């Protein structure tokens, strides 16, 4: 299957009759095709003796495009399906469900490796990633900043895995890592709404996966930022161990509320201990 066949002869005009809505989504779809992501996902999810009616790499890319276009449920794939003049044939909601249900733990690992490989290629084409900024200043070229945090995603009905949250709402409490330099979501772990904000095991899982998503040549100097949820001995000890590895510098900036115990400890330190 030629994944770019749908875009052959495609052009954009301003104004006119028969205007197609959501046409900007085609740019994301083209990006996935031109970067090699669609083809790589197809290869990662291929199985011997299984020839799906809809290419699985194409299905995953279309689902990602749907989400970027504002979709909130798999049924929203119909928005792309209704624009067949632009996108050609798009998988039905039922096919999307099957494609997702087919993905095993092995498939998830293959997808992660594929994403990392394509990201390395794209970063290589760009040449150098933008510098991150903090407190109004440039952190310098070569410093890749990873932000780890959790967020609340509301569920308006009894979805699978949804639960009451610590904010007295109902839904999910995923934890994610983003790259501040590029604005990319590197990895995310879906969790029920009652999952702990400072669960060290979940932080270590997403940080390990995020490190693997950063191209090797850009892992030499990493800065990890987190709020007080990341301020556990397990996480900080792990980051310290990563910093000890050869040819790698890993720093961290972790928020923590200052109380009387912290103030006493700080005042107990001599001035020479600070840098």
Give the dihedral of Cα atoms 186, 192, 195, 197; nearest 10 deg: 40
Q: Would you state the pLDDT for residue 15? A: 67
3-17 pLDDT, tens digit per residue, is 557 777 777 666 666
The whole-number average pLDDT for the span 50-63 is 91
What's the pLDDT band for 53 if we cut at 50, 70, 90?
confident
Q: Kindly list the structural domains of the chain, giving each domain's residue range(s) and its CATH number in brackets, ordered by start.
A: 5-113 (no CATH), 131-273 (3.30.420)
Q: Would you state the pLDDT for residue 3? A: 59
Q: Would you state the pLDDT for residue 75? A: 95
49 DSSP assignment = T
Q: Would you state the pLDDT for residue 16? A: 67
Q: Shortest CA distance to 217 belongs to which of 152, 111, 124, 98?
A: 124
The whole-number average pLDDT for the span 28-53 is 91
C-beta atoms surrounding 95 within 10 Å: 17
Question: Element (H or E) spanning 147, and its range?
Answer: strand 144-150
Whether 1 shows a pLDDT value over 60: the answer reads no
221: Cβ contacts below 8 Å, ≥ 6 apart: 142, 143, 144, 248, 249, 251
231: Cβ contacts below 8 Å, ≥ 6 apart: 198, 254, 255, 256
61-108 pLDDT, tens digit per residue, is 999 999 999 998 999 999 999 888 888 889 999 999 999 999 999 999
Q: Would you state the pLDDT for residue 14? A: 67
The whole-number average pLDDT for the span 40-67 is 92
Whether 246 shows a pLDDT value over 80: the answer reads yes
């Amino acid at each position: 299957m030629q994944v770019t066949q749908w875009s052959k002869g495609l052009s954009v005009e301003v104004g006119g009759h028969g205007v197609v809505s959501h046409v900007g989504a085609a740019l994301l779809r083209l990006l996935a095709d031109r970067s090699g992501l669609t083809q790589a996902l197809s290869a990662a999810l291929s199985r011997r003796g299984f020839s799906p009616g809809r290419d699985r790499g194409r299905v995953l890319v279309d689902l990602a495009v749907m989400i970027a276009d504002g979709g909130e449920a798999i049924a929203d794939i119909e928005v792309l399906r209704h624009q067949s003049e632009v996108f050609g044939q798009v998988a039905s909601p039922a096919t999307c469900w099957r494609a997702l249900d087919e993905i095993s733990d092995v498939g998830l690992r293959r997808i992660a490796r594929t994403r990392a490989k394509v990201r390395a290629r794209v970063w290589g084409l760009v040449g150098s990633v933008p510098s991150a900024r903090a407190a109004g200043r440039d952190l310098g070229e070569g410093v890749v900043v990873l932000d780890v945090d959790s967020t609340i995603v509301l569920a308006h009905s009894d979805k699978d895995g949804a639960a009451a949250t610590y904010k007295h709402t109902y839904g999910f409490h995923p934890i994610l890592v983003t790259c501040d330099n590029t604005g990319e979501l590197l990895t995310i772990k879906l969790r029920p709404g009652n999952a702990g904000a400072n669960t060290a095991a979940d932080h270590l899982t997403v940080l390990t996966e995020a490190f693997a998503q950063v191209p090797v040549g850009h892992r030499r100097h990493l800065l990890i930022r987190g709020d007080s949820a990341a301020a556990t001995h397990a996480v900080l000890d792990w980051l310290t161990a990563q910093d000890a590895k050869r040819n790698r510098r890993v720093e961290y900036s972790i928020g923590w509320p200052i109380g009387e115990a912290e103030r006493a400890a700080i005042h107990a330190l001599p001035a020479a201990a600070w840098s």
